[in-house]
Structure 1
């Protein structure tokens, strides 16, 4: 036998680390993704509403009302409802004026388009998984189609990673005429104690105070909570708004991407009592909405154009 001086080395089998998993509920109502490190997200196809986002240790980071309706008969109270194409009650004499409050995206059944994920080798742990959901004008109810008769396509991408949860909205004008829209990620974050929670990153910025009849509020270094808060901060120069939890330490950073506005909301005692699906009634003590959006004025999209915006919520747990 000839002895070759440069023998090929033995081939070692490639070792792959565990990969992200996706589970679709038996009744096809939800899609759940989980990373090997333990992070998890669940999305309800009704409204493409994110119902749950858990940190690696299993801690729930979103607040979902115990009275939330999940059967598709009404929008979900809690999680991350998607507001489109109008924020709040529609204005009179506008193309959205016949739509319900907050539009139709959160009330429509979305299509699950599939997943894509990184394939981490044994030397890395950069696993992430992206779930895509679609809503198209042809799938709207006859009532919604009549109220807003534009041809459009929406793709909502929910990406779970060790860094956090990214939610991105892509709007495509598939018609022959321009339309205007607003969009908001109406995110309910779970907190330990709202009376000891602060929101930073909005220092010195003017805001529309909806508790005070939509008048201009007085800027403050931080947002604190001792009663109902409903504020719309617009044209924010910095990209990050942070939540400090009861211990005063950073809890969650909300990083906006092509979204210039932020809504901060907590209903407090009386408003919570008046919402039938807000349960328990003292649940306001453990939630705060910090909502990234484009809600000041309107975004105009010409025929054939595409717009994209969203946020990354980064947990410090």
Structure 2
């Protein structure tokens, strides 16, 4: 297991994690953002925009940005909060998490500044542990209230996944669930399809979702499995062709090769009393596509066997 801190002057300082079979992850201190996850065959599993802006203060479009303390755009805060637009630090005191056990990992921390308090008047500590394993990437976010009064927040791990062709993939695990449609004034609907497929722009918050959701990419013969704890909602987003052209840091054709599937807590913000801490967990892994085929025993799909 290896952990390397790189500061080459071109980009924000970054941490490169690797494990013996060849899987790697790259984490920027700016934004506490994972910007690369490669499997043992050196295939990139996360999407990065062809027009990504790598210099502050612009957030980087791709990888896994962290949306905190809000998801969406409300009030005086910048869209999706400020955590993805701040310089994080290596966390030397990650307790009470257990120490690493032969794993390649890094602990980062973001603490409220006087400038942040002007727009969000709550003192906090936001921590993130990133762990790389064989075919697996784990993120453990934690928020501690270090203020004298309580506060509430929303959070999302905004996962940009690299795909062969978004119009050919399907998402399983969200069928029959209610969702807010951000394209239709946040109206509430119920998912009617057996699986989510894509033929136009989509921006939905699925509610009370299961702990396991899958993106099936038949062309690449792989399924990305998202397992999550502490974040009951899931966001599905792709801007499609017309909106892609209006997004300055996204290539006109980039939408075809990406899909965002977020682990999130949005509908019911998380409330913390003074000195209280919240912890979430997201585990991304790659399995054989056939494992999640709709033709198989549904109990196997749900991992009940």
TM-score (norm 1): 0.84
Instruction: Find 1:118's aligned residue among 88, 101, 104.
Output: 101
Indicate yes or no: 2:184 matched with 1:224.
Answer: no
Work out whether residues 208 and 216 of structure 1, in 8 Å CA contact, stay in contact via their aligned partners in 2: yes
In structure 2, C-alpha distance between the alignment counterparts of 1:285 and 1:305, rounded to whole Å: 42
How far has the Cα of 1:24 moved from its partner? 2.2
1:201 corresponding residue in structure 2: 173
2:256 corresponding residue in structure 1: 285
1:93 corresponding residue in structure 2: none
Change (3 A) 1:247 1:170: same
Indicate yes or no: 2:64 matched with 1:80.
Answer: yes
2:245 corresponding residue in structure 1: 273
Q: Alignment length, in residue pairs?
A: 280
How far has the Cα of 1:113 moved from its partner? 2.4
Change (3 A) 1:248 1:38: closer
SS in 2 for 1:284: helix
The alignment's C-alpha RMSD in Å is 1.7
Work out whether residues 261 and 294 of structure 1, in 8 Å CA contact, stay in contact via their aligned partners in 2: yes
In structure 2, C-alpha distance between the alignment counterparts of 1:89 and 1:233, rounded to whole Å: 18
Bigger radius of gyration, 1 or 2? 1
1:13 corresponding residue in structure 2: none
Work out whether residues 20 and 117 of structure 1, in 8 Å CA contact, stay in contact via their aligned partners in 2: no
Structure 1 gaps, min length 5: 1-18, 91-96, 120-127
2:87 corresponding residue in structure 1: 109
1:186 corresponding residue in structure 2: 158
1:32 corresponding residue in structure 2: 16
How far has the Cα of 1:213 moved from its partner? 2.3
In structure 2, C-alpha distance between the alignment counterparts of 1:107 and 1:26, rounded to whole Å: 20
1:303 corresponding residue in structure 2: 274
User: Cα deviation per residue 1:45-104 (whole Å; 9 max; x = unaligned)?
Assistant: 1101111000010000000112111112211111100000001011xxxxxx32111111
How far has the Cα of 1:217 moved from its partner? 3.0
Q: How does 1:50-89 map to 2 (within 5 A)?
A: 50-89=34-73
In structure 2, C-alpha distance between the alignment counterparts of 1:160 and 1:137, rounded to whole Å: 27
How far has the Cα of 1:248 moved from its partner? 8.4
Work out whether residues 82 and 184 of structure 1, in 8 Å CA contact, stay in contact via their aligned partners in 2: yes
User: Cα deviation per residue 1:268-313 (whole Å; 9 max; x = unaligned)?
Assistant: 001111100002x101100000100101131110011000012101
How far has the Cα of 1:22 moved from its partner? 2.2
Work out whether residues 164 and 220 of structure 2, in 8 Å CA contact, stay in contact via their aligned partners in 1: no
Indicate yes or no: 2:112 matched with 1:137.
Answer: yes
In structure 1, C-alpha distance between the alignment counterparts of 2:119 and 2:3, rounded to whole Å: 39
